Structure 1
Amino acid sequence: MSLPLSRRALLLSLAATGAAPLFRPAPARAAIPGGSRTICYIGGYNKHAPPGGAGNGQGISVFEMNRDTGALTPVTTYVDIASPSFLTLSADTRFLYALSEIDDFNAARDGCVTAFSVDRTSGELNMLNRATSGGSIPAHLSLDHSGRYVLVANYVGGSIGVLPIRPDGSLGNPTDVVHNTGPRMPERAEDNPPGNYAVSDHSGPHPHMVACDPSGRYVLACDAGLDRVYIWTLDLPTGKLRPAATPYVALMPGSAPRHFAFGHDGRIVYILCEQDSKVIVATFDSRTGALVPQQKVSTVTPYFQGSTLAAEILVSPNGRYVYASNRLGDSLAIFRVSPDGSLTLIDEVWMHADYGRAMMFDPSGKFLFCANQRSDSVTSFRVDQETGALDFTWHFTPVGSPTTFAFMHTA
């Protein structure tokens, strides 16, 4: 039976450190013919977290994805890690890096990053080492395009850490830690959705994401506390960040830029602002690092009123659609991408769960997964790559306080 699952349709109808990691085995699973399998790693918050941040997770949960249905079958959970709220795989999937969103790794009250080697046949993880993130409560990490450094956004520490990757995949101490500075910003933006009581922390600098542009020439970071997008170059021999000609772009006070995603040609960057639930469409010049905002569009329809905080933004594998998640409002916004890169909101879909934080496509692009932090569940949608529509699979995967995904194909 067909059900009206989109929020828009619903509104219209209603209103008009050890050598080996610890693990927990899961029930035996059937092998996929041909040998290759799709592995999904899911991290989140567990009891080892700062005050107020503790969650129900156990560590890094490992699942096998059914390539036909998108269903996730549990394989193993690695529990010897504190609140792994963001994960990333190396380009060759030989290594996985997980930040711990904590503030007690060392006497400086830093967070940390754990390096794992990955068995590309089984997906098994083996811990290599841990290193300081260069600041407290890290929120995001990525690898630079050379694969020589891990870049970390330390949210409470107000800093960007650059960690060198050794030949064996393990991590060294930071080669650079850059601290952002700026004036105190308001807790709310002027262009909030009506009735939005949610606030973002503007007590100081709070980097929320750091990653390279597609050319690999520049490193960008969203600072949700200073309402800025910072731009640097990365000196590969030294691992030092150098400010670009225009070191940052200021966005609306109180808007809290959180995450960004580049269009496929690298000329457009979509910046998601958490507090006012807006997407800034900006041009980006990979020769100079110049970033110029061109458009602002809401992630909620005009029907929506109440509290909301945007969380994640993705560009579809074919580059024709952009997706954004809204916490509190519990929706997924779907945008059509015009030839000039501008966006048009075409639908808003219910997540079927609470506080959807991270989203990620599986490697085939057939499925979109949502980590619903407060519902302790992962939900998934089948993606129509022609229309951008999302069709709920009705699969609920129980995971305590999930916040992040990483996918790989086994060899």
Structure 2
Amino acid sequence: MTARSLLSRRRFGLGAFGAGALGTLSITRTAFGAPTLDSGTGENSGLGPLPAKGPRILCYVGGYTKHAPPGGAGNGQGIATYELNLADGSLVPRSVFTDIASPSFITLSPDHRFLYALSEIDDYNAGHDGSVTAFSIDPATGALRKINTVSSGGSVPAHLSVHKNGRFVLVANYVGGSIAVLPIKPDGSLGEATDVYKATGPKMPERAADNPPGNFAVSDHSGSHMHMVHSDPSGNFVLADDAGLDRVYVWKLSDDGKLVPAKTPFITAEPGSAPRHFAFSPDGRILYNLGEQDSRVVVSDFDPQTGEIKPRQSVSTVTEHFRGSTLAAEILVGPKGDKLYVSNRLGDSLAVFHIAADGSLTLIEEIWMHADYGRALMFEPTGRYLFCTNQRSDSITSFKVDPATGKLSFTWKFTPIGSPTTMAFVTLKA
């Protein structure tokens, strides 16, 4: 598969400006009416005064902008900030940070003082890398201030996370097929990579044998495509999903930021299944891994002392009645640890699973996401609402969570935003 066809599958676009040619100082009004301050210092404002009572919860949302590799421009403007209305699950627009290209994944430091955003691009430098930008978060207003930007250690990054120790940002580069370790300095800024692991392996099939009936969707298997990297809850290990080579890697992370292979360096998933994202049980002993191509969750026992992964169950994220094309996207464990949630693109559904005492899964409902191509799923801090970013519908939808059953009911609240793919919530200090 050519680089252009690969990027087209990921729905990229190419803007008219390079990585270094970003905006000059201007105060504008966004497409949805929120005031925006865009400057070379990277500051934004417009959040307004604090409410008299109750917590103030902000939601940062990123996605695809016009600046991206060839394959189809996104409609986003940068990192948008919204305020959550807990009464009805709606998001109120506040501001947009526009001095960043295609921030398709964002994450927070453990103390929520800093936000890190990748740019899913391939022209940050002469090596065709993507980039990662560090921001500070004003604890009173939530305003973002850009600190610095560094190479992501590979082309077209797709995911990043902060290691449990808070000292490193881990980056998965999709087209580059690599995992990079970026040190975090005391001021929250990022240093150049301390380690970059580049994967190689045999070509895998584009479709899995356990596909849903009638699934014509494919995941690219022309080479390594790292799709997620994250530490386990104990912080003893770092895991990564390779959607191109159908592998799950396990490393130790040394004090100086080097990836050291575990006793079993990787396990091989179902050929063609394209392991995409994973989640852990609260105690860190059960690993739930989502196959993008076959839309299945593999349940495995995980040993937090050795890093060993032992698969023992595989369940579909669509009902037995489903026929057609689907690609699973996101997976997360609910706030109480007894439910698991998955978003299905193309089929446009949200799946809810009950988690048994031994960690095994039972699908209890699959509902319409009320939009197209849902990507990220995230609970707001109180756990009352679940939000879904819908890339092709240019919207975010919210669902009220039944506290007893974990089932979802649509709030009928749509948030218009161009090509959203990622979000993060912060509760401001009073």
Summarize the Cα distance change of 1:331–1:261 in structure 2 as closer, same or farther, 3 Å threshold: same
Determine if contact 2:329/2:345 at 8 Å carries over to the other structure.
yes
| Deviation for aligned residue 1:194 | 0.6
Match of 2:123 in 1: 104
- Give, in whole Å, the separation in 1 of the partners of 2:324 and 2:401: 28
- Give, in whole Å, the separation in 2 of the partners of 1:354 and 1:377: 9
Match of 1:5 in 2: none
Match of 1:366 in 2: 384
| Deviation for aligned residue 1:66 | 0.9
Pairing partner for 1:195 from 214, 218, 236: 214
- Give, in whole Å, the separation in 2 of the partners of 1:282 and 1:21: 51
Match of 1:144 in 2: 163
Deviations 1:105-145 (A, max 9, x none): 00000000000010011000000000000000000000001
Q: Secondary structure at the match of 1:80?
A: coil
- Give, in whole Å, the separation in 2 of the partners of 1:261 and 1:53: 30
| Deviation for aligned residue 1:23 | 6.7
| Deviation for aligned residue 1:91 | 1.1
Q: Secondary structure at the match of 1:68?
A: coil
Match of 2:8 in 1: none
Deviations 1:4-36 (A, max 9, x none): xxxxxxxxxxxxx78998775526767422374
Summarize the Cα distance change of 1:43–1:22 in structure 2 as closer, same or farther, 3 Å threshold: farther
Say whether residues 1:289 and 2:335 are aligned partners.
no
Match of 2:109 in 1: 90
Match of 1:400 in 2: 418
Say whether residues 1:375 and 2:375 are aligned partners.
no
Summarize the Cα distance change of 1:23–1:98 in structure 2 as closer, same or farther, 3 Å threshold: farther
Match of 1:59 in 2: 78
- Give, in whole Å, the separation in 1 of the partners of 2:67 and 2:112: 27
Say whether residues 1:311 and 2:329 are aligned partners.
yes
Match of 2:17 in 1: none
Match of 2:317 in 1: 299
Match of 1:280 in 2: 298
Determine if contact 1:21/1:127 at 8 Å carries over to the other structure.
no
| Deviation for aligned residue 1:276 | 0.3
Say whether residues 1:121 and 2:140 are aligned partners.
yes
Match of 2:240 in 1: 221
Determine if contact 1:19/1:128 at 8 Å carries over to the other structure.
no
Match of 2:360 in 1: 342
Q: Secondary structure at the match of 1:204?
A: coil
- Give, in whole Å, the separation in 1 of the partners of 2:177 and 2:188: 26
Match of 2:7 in 1: none
Determine if contact 1:371/1:404 at 8 Å carries over to the other structure.
yes
- Give, in whole Å, the separation in 1 of the partners of 2:26 and 2:402: 39
Q: Secondary structure at the match of 1:42?
A: strand
Q: Which ranges in structure 1 are unaligned for 5 or more consecutive residues?
A: 1-16
| Deviation for aligned residue 1:90 | 0.7
Pairing partner for 1:168 from 179, 182, 187: 187
Q: Which stretch shows the higher mean deviation, 71-80 or 26-35?
A: 26-35
Determine if contact 2:184/2:191 at 8 Å carries over to the other structure.
yes
Counterpart amino acid of 2:295?
S
Say whether residues 1:269 and 2:290 are aligned partners.
no
Determine if contact 1:20/1:127 at 8 Å carries over to the other structure.
no
Deviations 1:302-345 (A, max 9, x none): 11100000000010010010000000000000000000000000
Q: Which ranges in structure 2 are unaligned for 5 or more consecutive residues?
A: 1-19, 36-45
| Deviation for aligned residue 1:386 | 1.4
Determine if contact 1:115/1:169 at 8 Å carries over to the other structure.
yes
Summarize the Cα distance change of 1:116–1:164 in structure 2 as closer, same or farther, 3 Å threshold: same
Determine if contact 1:136/1:156 at 8 Å carries over to the other structure.
yes
Counterpart amino acid of 1:258?
R
Determine if contact 1:267/1:285 at 8 Å carries over to the other structure.
yes
Counterpart amino acid of 1:366?
R
Match of 1:183 in 2: 202
Match of 2:95 in 1: 76
Determine if contact 1:38/1:408 at 8 Å carries over to the other structure.
yes
| Deviation for aligned residue 1:269 | 0.7
Match of 2:57 in 1: 38
Aligned residues: 394
Determine if contact 1:221/1:231 at 8 Å carries over to the other structure.
yes
Taking only the aligned residue pairs, the percentage that are identical comes to 65
- Give, in whole Å, the separation in 2 of the partners of 1:23 and 1:40: 22
| Deviation for aligned residue 1:385 | 2.4
Counterpart amino acid of 2:419?
S
Q: Secondary structure at the match of 1:208?
A: strand
Aligned residues: CA RMSD: 1.5
